[in-house]
Chains A and B, each alone.
Chain A
Amino acid sequence: MKVLPFGDDAVLVELDDLAQVRALDAAVRAARGEGRFAEVVDQVPAARTLLLRGVGAVDHAALATAVRALPAGPAAPVAERAAPVVELEVTYDGPDLDEVADLTGLSADEVVARHTAATYTVAFGGFMPGFAYLVGLDPLLRVPRRPSPRERVLAGSVAIADEFSAVYPAATPGGWRLIGRCERPLWDVDHEPPALLAPGTRVRFVEAG
Protein backbone atom coordinates (compact mmCIF):
# COMPACT_ATOMS: atom_id res chain seq x y z
CA MET A 1 0.00 0.00 0.00
CA LYS A 2 1.31 3.44 -0.96
CA VAL A 3 -0.40 6.58 0.34
CA LEU A 4 0.51 9.53 -1.89
CA PRO A 5 -0.37 13.20 -1.39
CA PHE A 6 -2.73 14.35 -4.16
CA GLY A 7 -2.81 18.14 -3.90
CA ASP A 8 -3.67 20.11 -0.78
CA ASP A 9 -6.90 18.34 0.03
CA ALA A 10 -6.51 14.66 -0.90
CA VAL A 11 -4.46 11.47 -0.74
CA LEU A 12 -4.36 8.68 -3.31
CA VAL A 13 -3.94 5.18 -1.89
CA GLU A 14 -2.30 2.83 -4.40
CA LEU A 15 -3.06 -0.86 -3.97
CA ASP A 16 -2.12 -4.08 -5.74
CA ASP A 17 -5.49 -5.20 -7.00
CA LEU A 18 -9.22 -4.61 -6.97
CA ALA A 19 -9.76 -6.98 -4.04
CA GLN A 20 -7.49 -4.79 -1.86
CA VAL A 21 -9.32 -1.68 -3.08
CA ARG A 22 -12.68 -3.17 -2.15
CA ALA A 23 -11.45 -4.20 1.29
CA LEU A 24 -9.95 -0.78 2.07
CA ASP A 25 -12.91 1.09 0.57
CA ALA A 26 -15.29 -0.91 2.80
CA ALA A 27 -13.06 -0.39 5.84
CA VAL A 28 -12.91 3.40 5.31
CA ARG A 29 -16.66 3.54 4.72
CA ALA A 30 -17.28 1.60 7.94
CA ALA A 31 -14.91 3.88 9.86
CA ARG A 32 -16.64 6.98 8.47
CA GLY A 33 -19.96 5.47 9.55
CA GLU A 34 -18.56 5.45 13.10
CA GLY A 35 -17.51 9.09 12.84
CA ARG A 36 -13.84 8.54 12.09
CA PHE A 37 -12.08 10.07 9.04
CA ALA A 38 -14.23 13.15 9.65
CA GLU A 39 -12.08 15.24 7.28
CA VAL A 40 -12.87 12.90 4.35
CA VAL A 41 -15.80 14.16 2.28
CA ASP A 42 -15.26 12.29 -0.98
CA GLN A 43 -14.17 8.66 -1.14
CA VAL A 44 -13.52 7.44 -4.69
CA PRO A 45 -12.54 3.82 -5.24
CA ALA A 46 -11.20 2.85 -8.68
CA ALA A 47 -9.55 -0.25 -10.14
CA ARG A 48 -6.26 -0.03 -8.19
CA THR A 49 -6.64 3.09 -6.08
CA LEU A 50 -8.75 4.78 -3.43
CA LEU A 51 -8.92 8.59 -3.42
CA LEU A 52 -9.75 10.27 -0.11
CA ARG A 53 -10.53 13.97 -0.41
CA GLY A 54 -11.42 16.59 2.19
CA VAL A 55 -12.68 20.15 1.93
CA GLY A 56 -9.71 22.48 2.34
CA ALA A 57 -6.25 21.26 3.27
CA VAL A 58 -5.87 17.84 4.89
CA ASP A 59 -3.00 16.56 7.02
CA HIS A 60 -1.55 14.04 4.55
CA ALA A 61 0.63 12.27 7.11
CA ALA A 62 -2.17 11.89 9.65
CA LEU A 63 -4.53 10.59 6.98
CA ALA A 64 -1.88 8.09 5.78
CA THR A 65 -1.38 6.85 9.34
CA ALA A 66 -5.12 6.44 9.83
CA VAL A 67 -5.46 4.52 6.55
CA ARG A 68 -2.59 2.17 7.44
CA ALA A 69 -4.11 1.51 10.85
CA LEU A 70 -7.32 0.12 9.34
CA PRO A 71 -7.87 -3.62 9.34
CA ALA A 72 -6.73 -4.74 5.88
CA GLY A 73 -7.42 -7.85 3.89
CA PRO A 74 -10.52 -9.69 2.77
CA ALA A 75 -12.09 -9.60 6.24
CA ALA A 76 -13.25 -6.02 5.77
CA PRO A 77 -16.06 -6.57 3.22
CA VAL A 78 -17.90 -8.78 5.75
CA ALA A 79 -20.17 -5.84 6.56
CA GLU A 80 -21.13 -5.73 2.90
CA ARG A 81 -22.29 -9.33 3.01
CA ALA A 82 -24.85 -8.37 5.65
CA ALA A 83 -26.29 -5.57 3.50
CA PRO A 84 -29.51 -6.17 1.54
CA VAL A 85 -29.21 -7.27 -2.08
CA VAL A 86 -30.72 -5.05 -4.80
CA GLU A 87 -32.61 -7.23 -7.29
CA LEU A 88 -32.78 -5.93 -10.84
CA GLU A 89 -35.28 -7.43 -13.29
CA VAL A 90 -33.78 -7.85 -16.73
CA THR A 91 -35.28 -8.67 -20.12
CA TYR A 92 -32.46 -10.55 -21.83
CA ASP A 93 -32.92 -9.40 -25.42
CA GLY A 94 -29.76 -7.32 -25.86
CA PRO A 95 -28.30 -6.82 -29.36
CA ASP A 96 -25.03 -8.52 -28.35
CA LEU A 97 -26.50 -11.57 -26.56
CA ASP A 98 -25.92 -13.94 -29.49
CA GLU A 99 -22.41 -12.57 -30.03
CA VAL A 100 -21.59 -13.11 -26.35
CA ALA A 101 -22.86 -16.68 -26.70
CA ASP A 102 -20.56 -17.19 -29.72
CA LEU A 103 -17.56 -15.64 -27.96
CA THR A 104 -18.02 -17.75 -24.83
CA GLY A 105 -19.07 -20.98 -26.54
CA LEU A 106 -22.27 -21.00 -24.47
CA SER A 107 -25.87 -20.91 -25.61
CA ALA A 108 -27.79 -17.67 -25.11
CA ASP A 109 -29.83 -19.43 -22.40
CA GLU A 110 -26.64 -20.45 -20.59
CA VAL A 111 -25.34 -16.88 -20.77
CA VAL A 112 -28.56 -15.70 -19.10
CA ALA A 113 -28.44 -18.52 -16.54
CA ARG A 114 -24.86 -17.65 -15.58
CA HIS A 115 -25.53 -13.90 -15.52
CA THR A 116 -28.51 -14.39 -13.16
CA ALA A 117 -26.77 -16.99 -10.96
CA ALA A 118 -24.11 -14.66 -9.57
CA THR A 119 -24.31 -12.09 -6.78
CA TYR A 120 -22.46 -8.94 -7.71
CA THR A 121 -20.95 -6.11 -5.68
CA VAL A 122 -20.43 -2.52 -6.80
CA ALA A 123 -16.66 -2.04 -6.88
CA PHE A 124 -16.54 1.56 -8.07
CA GLY A 125 -18.25 4.13 -10.27
CA GLY A 126 -16.93 7.15 -12.14
CA PHE A 127 -17.92 6.78 -15.79
CA MET A 128 -21.13 8.81 -15.43
CA PRO A 129 -23.57 9.62 -12.60
CA GLY A 130 -25.05 6.40 -11.24
CA PHE A 131 -22.87 4.07 -13.34
CA ALA A 132 -21.59 1.15 -11.23
CA TYR A 133 -18.85 -1.31 -12.10
CA LEU A 134 -20.14 -4.63 -10.73
CA VAL A 135 -17.73 -7.43 -9.84
CA GLY A 136 -18.71 -11.04 -9.37
CA LEU A 137 -19.24 -11.90 -13.04
CA ASP A 138 -18.98 -15.60 -13.89
CA PRO A 139 -15.44 -15.97 -15.38
CA LEU A 140 -16.94 -17.86 -18.35
CA LEU A 141 -18.80 -14.65 -19.30
CA ARG A 142 -15.65 -12.53 -19.63
CA VAL A 143 -15.66 -10.97 -23.08
CA PRO A 144 -13.69 -7.99 -24.36
CA ARG A 145 -15.32 -4.68 -25.17
CA ARG A 146 -16.59 -4.16 -28.70
CA PRO A 147 -13.80 -3.19 -31.13
CA SER A 148 -15.53 0.15 -31.67
CA PRO A 149 -17.99 1.68 -29.20
CA ARG A 150 -21.62 2.31 -30.09
CA GLU A 151 -22.49 5.98 -30.55
CA ARG A 152 -25.57 5.51 -28.41
CA VAL A 153 -26.36 2.92 -25.78
CA LEU A 154 -29.90 3.21 -24.41
CA ALA A 155 -30.59 3.92 -20.74
CA GLY A 156 -31.21 0.68 -18.83
CA SER A 157 -28.98 -1.43 -21.09
CA VAL A 158 -27.48 -4.34 -19.15
CA ALA A 159 -23.92 -4.91 -20.26
CA ILE A 160 -20.78 -6.95 -19.67
CA ALA A 161 -17.12 -6.29 -20.48
CA ASP A 162 -13.96 -7.87 -19.12
CA GLU A 163 -14.51 -8.76 -15.44
CA PHE A 164 -17.42 -6.35 -15.01
CA SER A 165 -21.16 -6.12 -15.51
CA ALA A 166 -23.13 -2.85 -15.42
CA VAL A 167 -26.40 -1.15 -16.23
CA TYR A 168 -26.19 2.13 -18.17
CA PRO A 169 -28.11 4.73 -16.09
CA ALA A 170 -28.62 7.07 -19.07
CA ALA A 171 -28.08 7.06 -22.81
CA THR A 172 -24.42 7.50 -23.72
CA PRO A 173 -21.82 6.25 -26.17
CA GLY A 174 -20.49 2.93 -24.89
CA GLY A 175 -18.40 -0.06 -25.86
CA TRP A 176 -19.66 -2.81 -23.57
CA ARG A 177 -21.58 -5.86 -24.85
CA LEU A 178 -25.32 -5.38 -24.36
CA ILE A 179 -27.19 -8.48 -23.24
CA GLY A 180 -30.45 -7.11 -21.83
CA ARG A 181 -32.41 -4.18 -20.48
CA CYS A 182 -33.62 -3.16 -17.05
CA GLU A 183 -36.56 -0.81 -16.48
CA ARG A 184 -35.59 0.29 -12.98
CA PRO A 185 -34.11 3.81 -12.80
CA LEU A 186 -30.52 3.74 -11.54
CA TRP A 187 -30.07 7.48 -11.19
CA ASP A 188 -32.64 10.03 -10.02
CA VAL A 189 -31.47 13.28 -8.40
CA ASP A 190 -34.88 13.73 -6.78
CA HIS A 191 -34.67 10.33 -5.10
CA GLU A 192 -32.86 9.67 -1.81
CA PRO A 193 -30.33 8.20 -2.37
CA PRO A 194 -29.97 9.39 -5.99
CA ALA A 195 -27.85 6.39 -7.03
CA LEU A 196 -29.46 2.97 -6.64
CA LEU A 197 -26.00 1.39 -6.79
CA ALA A 198 -23.09 2.79 -4.75
CA PRO A 199 -19.75 1.15 -3.92
CA GLY A 200 -20.37 -1.85 -1.65
CA THR A 201 -23.99 -2.40 -2.78
CA ARG A 202 -24.76 -6.03 -3.66
CA VAL A 203 -26.82 -6.80 -6.76
CA ARG A 204 -28.58 -9.77 -8.33
CA PHE A 205 -30.07 -9.89 -11.81
CA VAL A 206 -33.41 -11.67 -12.18
CA GLU A 207 -34.86 -12.65 -15.55
CA ALA A 208 -38.13 -10.79 -16.14
CA GLY A 209 -40.96 -13.28 -16.35
Chain B
Amino acid sequence: MLALVQDLGRPGWAHVGVGRSGAADGGALRLANRLVANPESAAGIEVLLGGLRLRARGPVTVALAGAEGPAELDGRPIGRDAVIEVPDGGELVVGNATRGLRTYVAVRGGVALPAALGSRSADRLAGLGPAPLAAGDVIPVGPAPDELPMVDLAPVPPWPDEVVVPVLPGPHADWFADGLAVLTARGGYQTTPASDRVALRLDGPVVERRPDALGRGLPPIGLVPGAVQIPPNGLPVVFGADHPVTGGYPVLAVVRSSALGSLAQIRPGDPLRFVASR
Protein backbone atom coordinates (compact mmCIF):
# COMPACT_ATOMS: atom_id res chain seq x y z
CA MET B 1 0.00 0.00 0.00
CA LEU B 2 1.35 3.40 -0.96
CA ALA B 3 -0.58 6.40 0.33
CA LEU B 4 0.97 9.84 -0.14
CA VAL B 5 -0.20 13.22 1.02
CA GLN B 6 -0.61 15.47 -2.03
CA ASP B 7 -1.92 18.92 -2.81
CA LEU B 8 -1.43 20.88 -6.03
CA GLY B 9 2.35 21.05 -5.55
CA ARG B 10 5.05 23.66 -5.06
CA PRO B 11 5.71 25.75 -8.19
CA GLY B 12 8.60 28.19 -8.27
CA TRP B 13 11.52 26.15 -6.92
CA ALA B 14 12.81 24.39 -10.04
CA HIS B 15 15.83 26.73 -10.26
CA VAL B 16 17.15 25.31 -6.98
CA GLY B 17 16.46 21.72 -7.94
CA VAL B 18 12.94 21.15 -6.59
CA GLY B 19 10.13 20.17 -8.96
CA ARG B 20 6.47 20.97 -8.49
CA SER B 21 5.28 17.49 -7.49
CA GLY B 22 1.59 17.53 -6.44
CA ALA B 23 -1.31 15.16 -7.11
CA ALA B 24 -0.52 12.98 -10.14
CA ASP B 25 -4.18 13.31 -11.19
CA GLY B 26 -4.77 16.90 -10.18
CA GLY B 27 -8.31 16.92 -11.58
CA ALA B 28 -9.34 14.04 -9.30
CA LEU B 29 -7.96 15.73 -6.18
CA ARG B 30 -9.73 18.97 -7.13
CA LEU B 31 -13.01 17.12 -7.59
CA ALA B 32 -12.71 15.34 -4.23
CA ASN B 33 -11.93 18.67 -2.57
CA ARG B 34 -14.88 20.42 -4.24
CA LEU B 35 -17.23 17.69 -3.03
CA VAL B 36 -16.32 18.40 0.62
CA ALA B 37 -16.30 22.19 -0.07
CA ASN B 38 -12.54 22.51 0.48
CA PRO B 39 -10.41 24.87 -1.56
CA GLU B 40 -9.25 22.83 -4.59
CA SER B 41 -5.69 23.16 -3.36
CA ALA B 42 -6.28 21.44 0.00
CA ALA B 43 -4.07 18.45 0.73
CA GLY B 44 -5.60 15.00 0.42
CA ILE B 45 -4.36 11.42 0.25
CA GLU B 46 -3.27 9.80 -3.02
CA VAL B 47 -3.72 6.02 -2.77
CA LEU B 48 -1.90 3.84 -5.28
CA LEU B 49 -4.25 1.02 -6.37
CA GLY B 50 -5.89 0.60 -2.94
CA GLY B 51 -5.65 -1.07 0.43
CA LEU B 52 -5.99 2.01 2.63
CA ARG B 53 -7.94 1.72 5.88
CA LEU B 54 -8.69 4.92 7.84
CA ARG B 55 -10.43 5.25 11.22
CA ALA B 56 -12.05 8.57 12.10
CA ARG B 57 -11.19 10.36 15.34
CA GLY B 58 -14.28 12.48 15.69
CA PRO B 59 -16.77 12.85 12.83
CA VAL B 60 -15.28 13.80 9.45
CA THR B 61 -16.63 14.45 5.97
CA VAL B 62 -14.73 12.79 3.14
CA ALA B 63 -14.97 12.15 -0.59
CA LEU B 64 -13.20 9.69 -2.87
CA ALA B 65 -12.39 10.46 -6.49
CA GLY B 66 -10.08 9.24 -9.23
CA ALA B 67 -9.87 5.51 -9.86
CA GLU B 68 -12.99 3.27 -9.89
CA GLY B 69 -13.34 0.47 -7.37
CA PRO B 70 -14.99 -0.70 -4.20
CA ALA B 71 -14.95 1.30 -0.98
CA GLU B 72 -16.60 0.70 2.37
CA LEU B 73 -17.67 2.58 5.47
CA ASP B 74 -18.00 0.29 8.49
CA GLY B 75 -18.38 -2.68 6.15
CA ARG B 76 -21.09 -1.14 3.95
CA PRO B 77 -20.29 -0.26 0.32
CA ILE B 78 -20.03 3.45 -0.40
CA GLY B 79 -19.81 5.30 -3.70
CA ARG B 80 -16.96 7.28 -5.10
CA ASP B 81 -17.35 10.88 -6.29
CA ALA B 82 -19.77 11.38 -3.40
CA VAL B 83 -19.89 13.13 -0.03
CA ILE B 84 -19.46 10.62 2.81
CA GLU B 85 -20.16 11.46 6.46
CA VAL B 86 -17.93 9.31 8.66
CA PRO B 87 -18.97 9.10 12.33
CA ASP B 88 -16.47 9.13 15.19
CA GLY B 89 -14.67 5.78 15.11
CA GLY B 90 -16.00 4.95 11.63
CA GLU B 91 -13.73 2.89 9.44
CA LEU B 92 -13.27 3.84 5.80
CA VAL B 93 -11.71 1.29 3.45
CA VAL B 94 -10.44 2.13 -0.02
CA GLY B 95 -10.44 -1.21 -1.87
CA ASN B 96 -8.32 -2.10 -4.86
CA ALA B 97 -9.16 -0.05 -7.92
CA THR B 98 -10.82 -1.96 -10.74
CA ARG B 99 -10.19 0.76 -13.33
CA GLY B 100 -7.59 3.47 -13.00
CA LEU B 101 -4.72 3.48 -10.55
CA ARG B 102 -4.92 6.37 -8.09
CA THR B 103 -7.74 7.21 -5.69
CA TYR B 104 -7.87 10.55 -3.90
CA VAL B 105 -9.30 10.89 -0.42
CA ALA B 106 -10.30 14.45 0.44
CA VAL B 107 -11.30 15.30 3.98
CA ARG B 108 -13.26 18.42 4.85
CA GLY B 109 -10.65 20.81 6.34
CA GLY B 110 -7.79 19.17 4.43
CA VAL B 111 -4.87 17.06 5.63
CA ALA B 112 -2.95 19.35 7.98
CA LEU B 113 0.48 17.69 8.17
CA PRO B 114 3.36 20.20 8.04
CA ALA B 115 4.04 21.90 4.70
CA ALA B 116 7.49 22.23 3.12
CA LEU B 117 8.13 25.20 0.82
CA GLY B 118 4.44 26.08 0.91
CA SER B 119 3.13 22.64 -0.06
CA ARG B 120 2.17 19.38 1.63
CA SER B 121 2.97 17.31 -1.43
CA ALA B 122 5.21 14.31 -0.86
CA ASP B 123 7.95 14.62 -3.50
CA ARG B 124 9.66 11.25 -3.49
CA LEU B 125 12.47 12.40 -5.76
CA ALA B 126 13.40 15.57 -3.85
CA GLY B 127 12.61 14.01 -0.48
CA LEU B 128 10.22 16.80 0.54
CA GLY B 129 6.83 16.80 2.22
CA PRO B 130 5.17 14.25 4.51
CA ALA B 131 6.52 10.70 4.54
CA PRO B 132 4.33 7.99 2.96
CA LEU B 133 1.51 7.12 5.35
CA ALA B 134 2.17 4.09 7.53
CA ALA B 135 -0.04 1.98 9.78
CA GLY B 136 -0.71 3.78 13.06
CA ASP B 137 -0.09 7.30 11.70
CA VAL B 138 -2.47 9.95 13.02
CA ILE B 139 -3.39 12.41 10.28
CA PRO B 140 -4.36 15.85 11.52
CA VAL B 141 -7.29 17.56 9.77
CA GLY B 142 -7.48 21.33 9.37
CA PRO B 143 -10.40 23.57 10.33
CA ALA B 144 -13.51 23.08 8.18
CA PRO B 145 -14.05 25.82 5.58
CA ASP B 146 -17.08 28.13 5.89
CA GLU B 147 -18.65 26.73 2.74
CA LEU B 148 -20.86 23.66 2.94
CA PRO B 149 -20.94 20.83 0.40
CA MET B 150 -23.29 21.80 -2.45
CA VAL B 151 -23.93 18.38 -4.00
CA ASP B 152 -23.98 14.81 -2.76
CA LEU B 153 -22.59 13.27 -5.90
CA ALA B 154 -20.52 14.42 -8.89
CA PRO B 155 -21.13 13.07 -12.39
CA VAL B 156 -17.91 11.74 -13.92
CA PRO B 157 -17.37 10.56 -17.50
CA PRO B 158 -17.19 6.79 -18.10
CA TRP B 159 -13.72 5.27 -17.94
CA PRO B 160 -12.21 4.88 -21.45
CA ASP B 161 -11.12 1.46 -22.76
CA GLU B 162 -7.98 2.96 -24.17
CA VAL B 163 -6.41 6.16 -22.89
CA VAL B 164 -5.80 8.59 -25.74
CA VAL B 165 -2.99 11.02 -24.98
CA PRO B 166 -2.78 14.22 -27.04
CA VAL B 167 0.81 15.39 -27.58
CA LEU B 168 2.44 18.50 -28.99
CA PRO B 169 5.80 18.31 -30.80
CA GLY B 170 8.65 18.66 -28.32
CA PRO B 171 11.78 20.80 -28.69
CA HIS B 172 13.73 17.91 -30.28
CA ALA B 173 11.01 16.44 -32.55
CA ASP B 174 13.26 17.06 -35.55
CA TRP B 175 15.90 14.67 -34.16
CA PHE B 176 13.64 11.73 -35.00
CA ALA B 177 13.18 9.97 -38.30
CA ASP B 178 9.43 10.35 -38.64
CA GLY B 179 8.75 13.14 -36.20
CA LEU B 180 5.73 12.08 -34.17
CA ALA B 181 4.67 9.35 -36.64
CA VAL B 182 6.06 6.32 -34.76
CA LEU B 183 4.91 7.65 -31.40
CA THR B 184 1.37 8.25 -32.63
CA ALA B 185 1.04 5.12 -34.80
CA ARG B 186 -1.88 2.74 -34.18
CA GLY B 187 -0.98 -0.21 -32.01
CA GLY B 188 0.48 2.20 -29.55
CA TYR B 189 2.33 1.66 -26.34
CA GLN B 190 1.76 0.09 -22.97
CA THR B 191 3.09 1.14 -19.59
CA THR B 192 5.60 -1.10 -17.84
CA PRO B 193 5.71 -1.95 -14.10
CA ALA B 194 8.81 0.28 -13.81
CA SER B 195 6.45 3.29 -13.95
CA ASP B 196 5.89 5.54 -10.95
CA ARG B 197 5.25 9.20 -10.03
CA VAL B 198 8.61 10.13 -11.56
CA ALA B 199 7.88 8.71 -15.01
CA LEU B 200 5.89 6.26 -17.08
CA ARG B 201 8.25 3.90 -18.82
CA LEU B 202 6.67 2.54 -21.98
CA ASP B 203 7.00 -0.55 -24.12
CA GLY B 204 6.13 -0.56 -27.81
CA PRO B 205 7.56 0.62 -31.12
CA VAL B 206 11.15 1.88 -30.93
CA VAL B 207 11.56 5.53 -31.94
CA GLU B 208 14.63 5.94 -34.18
CA ARG B 209 16.75 9.04 -34.53
CA ARG B 210 17.50 10.56 -37.92
CA PRO B 211 20.94 9.53 -39.20
CA ASP B 212 22.34 13.05 -38.70
CA ALA B 213 21.16 13.06 -35.06
CA LEU B 214 22.54 9.62 -34.18
CA GLY B 215 25.64 10.66 -32.27
CA ARG B 216 24.26 13.98 -31.11
CA GLY B 217 24.64 14.70 -27.39
CA LEU B 218 22.39 16.91 -25.33
CA PRO B 219 23.47 18.79 -22.24
CA PRO B 220 20.73 18.53 -19.59
CA ILE B 221 17.68 20.75 -20.12
CA GLY B 222 14.88 21.84 -17.79
CA LEU B 223 11.92 19.45 -17.92
CA VAL B 224 8.14 19.65 -17.57
CA PRO B 225 5.66 16.91 -16.62
CA GLY B 226 4.43 15.19 -19.74
CA ALA B 227 7.77 15.55 -21.54
CA VAL B 228 8.23 12.43 -23.70
CA GLN B 229 11.94 11.72 -23.58
CA ILE B 230 13.61 9.19 -25.88
CA PRO B 231 16.59 7.47 -24.25
CA PRO B 232 19.14 5.53 -26.33
CA ASN B 233 17.00 2.35 -26.38
CA GLY B 234 14.28 4.26 -28.27
CA LEU B 235 11.48 3.45 -25.79
CA PRO B 236 9.63 6.57 -24.62
CA VAL B 237 9.73 7.76 -21.03
CA VAL B 238 6.91 10.14 -20.09
CA PHE B 239 7.69 12.30 -17.08
CA GLY B 240 5.19 12.62 -14.25
CA ALA B 241 4.55 14.84 -11.25
CA ASP B 242 7.85 14.01 -9.49
CA HIS B 243 9.99 14.39 -12.63
CA PRO B 244 13.64 15.36 -12.25
CA VAL B 245 14.13 19.09 -12.72
CA THR B 246 16.52 18.50 -15.63
CA GLY B 247 17.06 15.61 -18.03
CA GLY B 248 19.67 14.69 -20.60
CA TYR B 249 17.82 12.95 -23.44
CA PRO B 250 15.96 14.56 -26.33
CA VAL B 251 12.27 15.38 -25.84
CA LEU B 252 10.26 14.18 -28.82
CA ALA B 253 6.84 15.35 -27.65
CA VAL B 254 5.00 16.89 -24.71
CA VAL B 255 1.66 15.65 -23.39
CA ARG B 256 -1.00 18.36 -23.25
CA SER B 257 -1.48 19.42 -19.65
CA SER B 258 -5.20 18.56 -19.80
CA ALA B 259 -4.24 14.88 -20.28
CA LEU B 260 -1.69 14.54 -17.46
CA GLY B 261 -4.37 13.33 -15.03
CA SER B 262 -5.57 10.47 -17.21
CA LEU B 263 -1.94 9.54 -17.88
CA ALA B 264 -1.47 9.12 -14.12
CA GLN B 265 -4.40 6.68 -14.01
CA ILE B 266 -2.98 4.20 -16.54
CA ARG B 267 -2.23 0.86 -14.93
CA PRO B 268 0.96 -1.07 -15.65
CA GLY B 269 0.39 -3.16 -18.77
CA ASP B 270 -2.54 -1.04 -19.95
CA PRO B 271 -2.43 0.40 -23.46
CA LEU B 272 -2.26 4.06 -24.34
CA ARG B 273 -2.29 5.79 -27.69
CA PHE B 274 -0.64 9.10 -28.46
CA VAL B 275 -2.32 11.42 -30.93
CA ALA B 276 -0.83 14.56 -32.43
CA SER B 277 -2.60 17.64 -31.13
CA ARG B 278 -2.53 21.25 -32.22
B52 within 8 A of A: no
- With contacts A44-B15, A55-B11, A130-B17 known, is A6 near B219, CB below 8 A? no
Q: Chain A interface: which size bin? A: 35 or more
- With contacts A42-B15, A129-B16 known, is A51 near B222, CB below 8 A? yes
From DSSP, what is the main secondary structure of chain A's interface residues? Answer: loop
From DSSP, what is the main secondary structure of chain B's interface residues? Answer: loop
B60-68, B96-104, B202-210, B251-259: which lies at the A interface? B251-259
Cross-chain contact A6 with B170 (CB below 8 angstroms):
yes
Cross-chain contact A6 with B117 (CB below 8 angstroms):
no
Cross-chain contact B126 with A129 (CB below 8 angstroms):
yes
CA distance A195 to B16 in the complex (A): 7
CA distance A193 to B117 in the complex (A): 10
A144 within 8 A of B: no
- B20: chain A residues within 8 A (beta carbon): 42
Cross-chain contact A7 with B16 (CB below 8 angstroms):
no
A48 within 8 A of B: yes
- A187: chain B residues within 8 A (beta carbon): 16
- B246: chain A residues within 8 A (beta carbon): 44, 46, 126-127
**Closest residue of A by beta carbon distance from B259:** A8
Question: Within A1-43, which residues are at the interface with B (CB < 8 Å)?
Answer: 4-10, 12, 14, 41-43
Cross-chain contact A14 with B171 (CB below 8 angstroms):
yes
Q: How many residue-residue contacts, CB under 8 A, span A and B? A: 113
Q: Chain B interface: which size bin? A: 35 or more
- How would residues 140 to 161 of chain A score, 1 for a CB under 8 Å from any chain B CB and 0 otherwise? 0000000000000000000000
- How would residues 225 to 239 of chain B score, 1 for a CB under 8 Å from any chain A CB and 0 otherwise? 011000000000000
CA distance A41 to B20 in the complex (A): 11
- With contacts A6-B171, A130-B17 known, is A51 near B221, CB below 8 A? yes
Question: Within A178-209, which residues are at the interface with B (CB < 8 Å)?
Answer: 187, 189, 193-195, 197-199
A78 within 8 A of B: no
CA distance A127 to B223 in the complex (A): 12
CB distance from A39 to the nearest CB of B (A): 12
B32 within 8 A of A: no
With A7-B226, A46-B220, A49-B221 already in contact, 11 other A-B pairs whose C-beta atoms are closer than 8 Å: A6-B170, A6-B251, A7-B255, A7-B256, A8-B168, A8-B258, A9-B224, A9-B257, A47-B219, A55-B11, A57-B257
A contact residues vs B (CB 8 Å cutoff): 4-10, 12, 14, 41-51, 53, 55-57, 124-132, 187, 189, 193-195, 197-199
B contact residues vs A (CB 8 Å cutoff): 11-18, 20, 116-117, 126-128, 168-171, 219-224, 226-227, 244-246, 251, 254-258
